[in-house]
């Protein structure tokens, strides 16, 4: 019969006195450190819909899609938590720094299917008043105008957008005539880069 080593006896006595080294998770909640990177969440009020997070995501866990829903251009975002590696690149590259933030949640196993491991959000897009094509999200237009300050008045589209936002300019009464030829007066409408370039060349 082999006798246990003194080192093993020492560890056994220490475990009896101090208790187990492991936690009682998941029966009891565990306290995590402040810098733990958990599942990311969109903060809709601070997100401008620029899709920078989706472009820098190394695993493609963040997807976005632009589509027409009920006559409006919308940009739909989906974060797939089951694909996310919690690297924090989305939060680090967010222009506002608050649009998408990693939480401290690390345990989110489910038996209901992968559709439960998603976070979704939608943003309305500003459309070109001539060709009807999408330009960028409404909140991103607001963010750019706020960042530029008075310099936003160097861009005709931003001028019209800012004045309409403050109720100082009416919506284009000729908006129903979408398409056709562009004229000099069309410079003071919200246009996409392609239509804006055509107006500038013609004027």
Residue-wise pLDDT for 9-43, tens only, equals 888 888 888 877 777 777 777 777 788 888 899 99
Q: Which residue has the tokens 């093993």?
A: 8
- Looking at the structure, tell me whether residues 122 and 141 fall in a common domain: no
- Mean pLDDT lowest among 67-71, 114-118, 163-167, 191-195: 163-167
Does some domain include residue 179? yes
Of the residues 108, 127, 146, which one is the last residue of a structural domain?
Answer: 127
- Looking at the structure, tell me whether residues 71 and 147 fall in a common domain: no
Does some domain include residue 29? no
- Looking at the structure, tell me whether residues 106 and 134 fall in a common domain: no
User: 162 lies in which domain range?
Assistant: 128-203
Average pLDDT on 113-122 reads 86
* CATH classification at residue 59: 3.30.70.3270
- Looking at the structure, tell me whether residues 190 and 111 fall in a common domain: no
- Looking at the structure, tell me whether residues 117 and 178 fall in a common domain: no
- Looking at the structure, tell me whether residues 117 and 78 fall in a common domain: yes
The model's pLDDT over 141-176, given as tens digits with 9 standing for 90+, comes to 889 988 888 888 888 888 888 887 777 665 654 444
Q: CA-to-CA distance for 62 and 146, rounded, in angstroms?
A: 27
Does some domain include residue 196? yes
- Looking at the structure, tell me whether residues 97 and 136 fall in a common domain: no
Does some domain include residue 50? yes
Rg (CA), the chain: 27
48, pLDDT greater than 70: yes
- Looking at the structure, tell me whether residues 95 and 70 fall in a common domain: yes
- Looking at the structure, tell me whether residues 40 and 123 fall in a common domain: yes
Average pLDDT on 92-105 reads 91
pLDDT of residue 4: 60
Our CA angle for 150, 152, 156, nearest 5°, is 130
Which of 134, 27, 147, 58 is closest to 97 using CA atoms?
A: 147
Of the residues 127, 146, 178, which one is the last residue of a structural domain?
Answer: 127
Q: Which residue has the tokens 């967010």?
A: 94
- Looking at the structure, tell me whether residues 146 and 191 fall in a common domain: yes
Average pLDDT on 120-135 reads 89
User: Whole-structure pTM over 0.75, yes or no?
Assistant: no
pLDDT of residue 169: 63
- Looking at the structure, tell me whether residues 132 and 122 fall in a common domain: no
- Could you give the C-alpha distances from 67 to 79, 123, 134, 142, 191, in angstroms and in order? 18, 11, 9, 21, 19
Q: CA-to-CA distance for 167 and 127, rounded, in angstroms?
A: 19
Does some domain include residue 27? no
- Looking at the structure, tell me whether residues 98 and 145 fall in a common domain: no
Whether residue 26 is preceded by a cis peptide bond, meaning omega within 30 degrees of 0, is yes
pLDDT of residue 106: 83
Q: Following CA atoms 181, 184, 189, 192 in sequence, which dihedral angle do they give, to the nearest 10 degrees?
A: 60
Average pLDDT on 63-71 reads 90
DSSP letter for 66, please. Answer: E
Number of domains in the chain: 2
């Amino acid at each position: 019969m082999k006798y246990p080593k003194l080192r093993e006896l020492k560890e056994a006595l220490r475990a009896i006195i101090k208790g187990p080294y492991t936690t009682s998770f998941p029966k009891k909640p565990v306290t995590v450190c402040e810098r733990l990177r958990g599942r990311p969440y969109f903060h809709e009020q601070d997100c401008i819909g620029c899709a920078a997070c989706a472009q820098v995501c190394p695993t493609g866990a963040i997807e976005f899609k632009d589509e027409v829903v009920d006559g409006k251009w919308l940009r739909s975002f989906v974060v797939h938590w089951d694909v996310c590696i919690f690297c924090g690149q989305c939060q680090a590259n967010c222009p506002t720094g608050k649009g998408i933030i990693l939480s401290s949640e690390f345990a989110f196993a489910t038996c209901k299917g992968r559709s439960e491991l998603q976070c979704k959000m939608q943003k309305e897009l500003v459309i070109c008043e001539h060709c009807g094509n999408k330009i960028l999200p409404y909140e991103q237009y607001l963010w750019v105008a706020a960042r530029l300050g008075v310099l936003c008045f160097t861009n005709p589209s931003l001028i019209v957008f800012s004045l309409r936002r403050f109720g100082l300019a009416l919506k284009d009464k000729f908006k129903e005539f979408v398409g056709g030829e562009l004229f000099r007066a069309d410079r003071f409408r919200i246009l996409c880069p392609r239509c804006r370039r055509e107006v500038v060349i013609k004027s």
